[in-house]
Amino acid sequence: MSKITLENISYVYSPGTPFEMHALEGINLNIRENAITGLIGHTGSGKSTLVQLLNGLTRPTSGRVLLDGKDIWQEPKKIKQVRFRVGLVMQYPEYQLFEETVRADIAFGPKNMGLSAQEIAERVSEAALLTGLDESLLDHSPFDLSGGQKRRVAIAGVIAMRPEVLVLDEPAAGLDPRGRDTILNMLRDYQQKTGATVMIVSHSMEDMARFCDDIIVLAHGKLVMQGRGHEVFARSRELSDVGLNIPEISRLCLMLRERGIPMDDGIFTVEQAEQCLLRLLESREQRTEGYV
Amino acid sequence: MKSITLGQFYPSDSILHRLDPRMKVILAVLYIVATFLCKNVLSFALLLLSAIVLILISKIPMKLVLGGIKAILFIMAFTALINVFFTKGETPIVEWRFIHIYAEGLWQALFMIVRITVLIVGTSMLLTYTTTPIMLTDALEQLLAPLRVLHIPVHEFAMMMTIALRFIPTLVEETNKIMSAQKARGADFTSGSLISRAKALIPILIPLFVSAFRRADELATAMECRCYHGGAGRTRMTILHYSPKDFVALAVIVVFGAGIIVLNRLGIGYTM
Ligand SMILES: Nc1ncnc2c1ncn2[C@@H]1O[C@H](COP(=O)(O)OP(=O)(O)OP(=O)(O)O)[C@@H](O)[C@H]1O
Ligand SMILES: [Mg+2]
């Protein structure tokens, strides 16, 4: 079942000026409910532009955005409700923290929803728990935290609104491998616990291959591919044609195939490669035994 | 590329864009003097013609220029009315109770409108539309360099100006980003009472200031790391050179000024 559908979406920055920029052109796509969708594309391919359309921060130049089959711009006055339902964590969200304490900052979204003080407190604790923030941190100033902690506070601030769809623009950018894994693991746990629909934007094929169910590929403002992870990575040749770094292990398999070793198509984890190689070795042993 | 979207700069490859910015500042000053020299119908006609020629050779869409004039329509109307009603003359046109309108007043109003329009159009064609703000500060720094003798820190002022100009687009972009982020959390900047709207600015202003100070700090460190120590002995990366076309432009404007003086002498019609 598709949670969000984009119909023939185009987006133009500064139309009618010499700086006109067609950031998105003719995008049609479906975001599946209860799944993690990864959006990948090279720098400037229009990923951030696309995610800002999903919660109505910007209005498409043409085309429609459907949430549960309903056009989100049907009643522009009620766009705020859409923003509570589709939570967006922007790129480098740690620079948006402003309150005196972490607790107050996480409460900003729920407060704007007009919830009761008790409900807000509950949601703040829940969001802190989900994002792995220690209770003791909640009374610190957000400006005193480390980069990775700030990032979690910012994510918690959106999760506290309990959105049906959680969209994150490069949640792992600029973190070390451990920090990236923690954040991505946390998002997967979150998805499994809450059954929310999650969308993650990233440059990194490797991360996406490991953490996402579905993959959407953008290049130069156009949709190149969409489908289940293994379907998309099976087309690794096309991916490298549009300038995306396919996972290292996929590239290795591709090179092996070019040298005549019949590796399977669509390998994107080391485990898969291992099994494929073992299988190949076995069949080879059988063949050589046959000759003897 | 985004930094040049600041102000009115309109990228194009016209001859006006390619003139030396220092020469453009000089030309603009001379042009302003010329507009104030005009005294009669003939010289004002030449002035108006020159403004049209400037627009045409700058390759800037007429629509954009007219849009710029629209902004000062009120000032022009006000000036015109004052001139119509308060200029005393010898040829009355309307005399009714306390209202006296003279032909001279109408001429005066017309001349003032042309003068203001041409002032705006001329300076924007020569400077703001065709020169990036950074080029402009560069040009001013070099033109004002002699003031250093009077211990005026020309270089430091220019550097401050350049940095400010450079960071305005960055700050605008950052403001937009922060606003989007807070809107995504349900912040509302457009409805509610004045007080609640002012309060709604806090979630924007605090992160903006924090990042502005951080940026200033980083920039200062980066400049120090590259041994910046003020203007003394500093060489330039882009050295401005006058080329023949700059002197042709200067000659044209001098001839134009002379033309205006000659036309003033002809003494046709009302003279200011
Ligand atoms: N505010 C803006 N005004 C004009 N053009 C813009 C603006 N924001 C983005 N663009 C342009 O639109 C295109 C898409 O930008 P976008 O930020 O969506 O890319 P992205 O895929 O998110 O890139 P990155 O991976 O670097 O974050 C780029 O070419 C960019 O220069
Ligand atoms: Mg982006």
Residue A185 shares a structural domain with residue A276: no
A150, A97 Cβ separation under 8 angstroms: yes
Q: The domain that contains A199 carries what CATH number?
A: 3.40.50.300
Residues of chain A with a CB closer than 8 angstroms to some CB in chain B: 14, 18-19, 52, 55, 57, 80, 83-84, 87-90, 93, 95-98, 108-109, 112-113, 143, 157-158, 161
pLDDT band at B246 (very low <50, low <70, confident <90, very high): very high
Q: B253 CA to middle of ligand 1, Å?
A: 44
pLDDT band at B5 (very low <50, low <70, confident <90, very high): very low
Q: What's residue B7's pLDDT?
A: 58
| pLDDT of residue B205 exceeding 60 | yes
Among residues A197, A229, A261, which one ends one of the domains? A229
Specify the higher pLDDT residue, B50 or B3: B50
Task: Quote the CA–CA distance of B211 and B204 in Å, as a whole number.
Answer: 11
Burial class (CB in 10 A: 0-12, 13-18, 19+), A73: middle
Among residues A198, A229, A260, which one ends one of the domains? A229
Residue of the CA atom closest to atom 3 of ligand 1:
A13
Q: What's residue B191's pLDDT?
A: 78
pLDDT > 70 fraction of chain B, expressed in percent and rounded? 97
Q: What's residue B90's pLDDT?
A: 81
The answer to the question of residue A125 being in a domain is: yes
Q: What's residue A218's pLDDT?
A: 92
pLDDT band at A290 (very low <50, low <70, confident <90, very high): low
Angle between helices B244-265 and B21-37 (to 10 degrees): 0
The answer to the question of residue A157 being in a domain is: yes
A70, A13 Cβ separation under 8 angstroms: no
Residue A129 shares a structural domain with residue A208: yes
Among residues A175, A202, A229, which one ends one of the domains? A229
| pLDDT of residue A292 exceeding 70 | no
The answer to the question of residue A237 being in a domain is: no
pLDDT band at B238 (very low <50, low <70, confident <90, very high): confident
Specify the higher pLDDT residue, A290 or B159: B159
Cβ–Cβ pairs < 8 A, chains A and B: 58
Q: What is the pLDDT of residues A223-241, one digit of tens each?
A: 999 998 878 877 777 887 8
The answer to the question of residue A239 being in a domain is: no
For B270, the token pair is: 């009302």
| pLDDT of residue B4 exceeding 70 | no
Q: B169 CA to middle of ligand 2, Å?
A: 18
Lowest mean pLDDT among A113-122, A223-232, B149-158, B232-241: B232-241
Q: What is the pLDDT of residues A244-271, one digit of tens each?
A: 777 788 788 888 888 888 887 777 778 8
Residue A67 shares a structural domain with residue A197: yes
pLDDT band at B2 (very low <50, low <70, confident <90, very high): very low
The answer to the question of residue A236 being in a domain is: no
Provide the Cα torsion B42, B48, B54, B57; round to 10°.
Answer: -80
Buried b (16+ CB within 10 A) or exposed e, A13-36: eeeeeeeeeebbbebebbbbeebb
- State which ligand 1 atom lies nearest to the alpha carbon of A170: 27
Residue A128 shares a structural domain with residue A193: yes
Residue A204 shares a structural domain with residue A282: no
Q: What is the pLDDT of residues A138-191, one digit of tens each?
A: 999 999 998 889 999 999 999 999 999 999 999 988 888 888 888 899 999 999
Which of A58, A79, A98 to mutate against chain B (most B CBs within 10 Å)?
A: A98
The answer to the question of residue A235 being in a domain is: no
> Is the minimum distance from the CB of A45 to ligand 1 under 6 angstroms?
yes
Neighbours of B263 (CB within 10 A): 21
- Name the amino acid, one letter, at A65: V
- State which ligand 1 atom lies nearest to the alpha carbon of A91: 27
Distances (CA, A) of A160 to A180, A238, B116, B252: 21, 39, 57, 68
SS3 B12: coil
> Is the minimum distance from the CB of A23 to ligand 1 under 6 angstroms?
yes
- Name the amino acid, one letter, at A292: V
Q: Which helix (H) or strand (E) holds B100?
A: strand B99-102
Residue A118 shares a structural domain with residue A181: yes
Neighbours of A235 (CB within 10 A): 17
Sign of CA dihedral A113, A117, A119, A120: positive
Query: B129 — phi, psi (to 5°)?
Result: -75, -30
Tell me what the mean pLDDT of segment B19-46 comes to.
93
Residue A266 shares a structural domain with residue A144: no
Q: What's residue A9's pLDDT?
A: 95
B187 to A108: CB separation less than 8 angstroms, yes or no: yes
Nearest-5° angle of CA B12, CA B16, CA B18? 75
Nearest to A83 among B178, B184, B202 (CB): B184
Closest residue, chain A, to B10 (C-alpha): A18
pLDDT band at B10 (very low <50, low <70, confident <90, very high): confident
> Is the minimum distance from the CB of A136 to ligand 1 under 6 angstroms?
no
The answer to the question of residue A256 being in a domain is: yes
3-state secondary structure chain A: CEEEEEEEEEEEECCCCCCCEEEEEEEEEEEECCCEEEEEECCCCCHHHHHHHHCCCCCCCEEEEEECCEECCCCHHHHHHHHHHEEEECCCHHHHCCCCCHHHHHCHHHHHCCCCHHHHHHHHHHHHHHCCCCHHHHHCCHHHCCHHHHHHHHHHHHHCCCCCEEEEECCCCCCCHHHHHHHHHHHHHHHHHHCCEEEEEECCHHHHHHHCCEEEEEECCEEEEEEEHHHHHCCHHHHHHCCCCCCHHHHHHHHHHHCCCCCCCCCCCHHHHHHHHHHHHHHHHHHHHHHC
A217, A185 Cβ separation under 8 angstroms: no
Q: Residue B163 carries which DSSP code? A: H
Closest residue, chain B, to A163 (C-alpha): B185
Residues of chain B with a CB closer than 8 angstroms to some CB in chain A: 5, 10-12, 174, 177-178, 180-188, 202-203, 206-207, 210-211
Residue A271 shares a structural domain with residue A210: no
For the question of an ipTM over 0.95, the answer is no
The answer to the question of residue A241 being in a domain is: no
> Which range of residues forms the domain containing residue A145?
2-229
Residue A169 shares a structural domain with residue A222: yes
| pLDDT of residue B89 exceeding 70 | yes
Q: What's residue B3's pLDDT?
A: 36
Residue A187 shares a structural domain with residue A264: no
pLDDT > 70 fraction of chain A, expressed in percent and rounded? 99
Residue A35 shares a structural domain with residue A137: yes
For A69, the token pair is: 């089959």
Q: What's residue A291's pLDDT?
A: 59
Q: What is the pLDDT of residues A72-101, one digit of tens each?
A: 999 888 899 999 999 999 999 988 899 999
User: Which residues make Cβ contacts (< 8 Å) with residue A277, sequence separation at least 6?
Assistant: A263
Q: A59 CA to middle of ligand 2, Å?
A: 17
Average pLDDT, chain A: 89
Nearest to A112 among B181, B185, B206 (CB): B185
CA-based max dimension of chain A = 80
Q: A30 CA to middle of ligand 2, Å?
A: 20
Closest residue, chain B, to A97 (C-alpha): B207
| pLDDT of residue B1 exceeding 50 | no
- State which ligand 1 atom lies nearest to the alpha carbon of A47: 21
Residue A38 shares a structural domain with residue A168: yes
pLDDT band at B189 (very low <50, low <70, confident <90, very high): confident
Lowest mean pLDDT among B49-63, B85-99, B203-217: B85-99
Average pLDDT, chain B: 87
pLDDT > 90 fraction of chain B, expressed in percent and rounded? 43
Q: Residue B147 carries which DSSP code? A: G
> Is the minimum distance from the CB of A41 to ligand 1 under 6 angstroms?
yes
Burial class (CB in 10 A: 0-12, 13-18, 19+), A125: middle
How many structural domains comprise chain A? 2
Task: Judge if pTM exceeds 0.95.
Answer: no
